[in-house]
Amino acid sequence: MTKSPDHLALVTSRTLEHYNERAAEFWEGTREHDVSQNIAALLRHLRGTAPFQILDFGCGPGRDLAAFRDMGHVPVGLEGSAQFAAMARQHSGCEVWEQDFLALSLPAERFDGIFANASLFHVPSQALPRVLRDLHAAIKPDGVLFTSNPRGDNQEGWNGGRYGTYHDLDAWRDYLTTAGFTALEHYYRPPGLPLHQQPWLASVWRRVCAANES
């Protein structure tokens, strides 16, 4: 069922309120999480010469921004939560754009890669095609998008004050290919566990350029 603009605005405001109220707790709970596997998955598919321009989409308090910075790249954060955006600037020293995921304003073909780690699942399925098109346009030709989301059976709704969508691989592939990406790889996390204990679906995609694009 198609959701009204007011409903989509409510999804955003309530989810951001949840994070703003728990920003310090979230930072303490996630600052030591090891996502080096995901960072490596993005970087190994980038073409050209480092340092790379990287957008950390949904950068949270800035853990991964700092990691990209320390590796010598040029990361920019994008975050909807005002509390997280301020923390990310403090923790990383990087530029951070405060933007609603459902009202993006991104420069065209700016980034070699976009790192969307545990962020795109907050986008309602109705709005996802538009958001993916926005990300596609912000990536340089032949650039790469990394995504990691909690997987499910294509359901969506509220969970503990946050709105989430939980796609399976087939549905996620359909969204990404329709938006103009081609699959490079996917895997489940955490590594080294049986599939039923791996709730996260990670995937890497390359921007496909139409024949009339440069």
Give the domain ranges of the chain: 5-207
pLDDT exceeds 60 at position 63? yes
Q: Note the pLDDT tens digit of each residue in 114-150.
A: 999 999 999 999 999 999 999 999 999 999 999 999 9
Sequence-separated (6 or more) residues with CB below 8 Å from residue 40: none
Sheet with 111-117, edge to edge strand ranges: 96-98, 74-79, 53-57, 111-117, 139-150, 200-207, 181-189
- Which CATH number is correct for 5-207, 3.40.50.150, 3.40.30.10, 3.30.1330.60, 3.40.50.410? 3.40.50.150
Query: What pLDDT sits at residue 212?
Result: 45
**pLDDT grade for 49, boundaries at 50, 70 and 90:** very high
Percent of the chain whose predicted confidence (pLDDT) is above 90: 95
pLDDT at 199 over 60: yes
Mean pLDDT of the chain: 96
Mean pLDDT of the region 150-158: 97
Transcribe 116-141 into DSSP letters: EES-GGGS-TTTHHHHHHHHHHHEEE
Q: How far is CA 142 from CA 42, 106, 108, 137, in A?
A: 13, 18, 13, 11
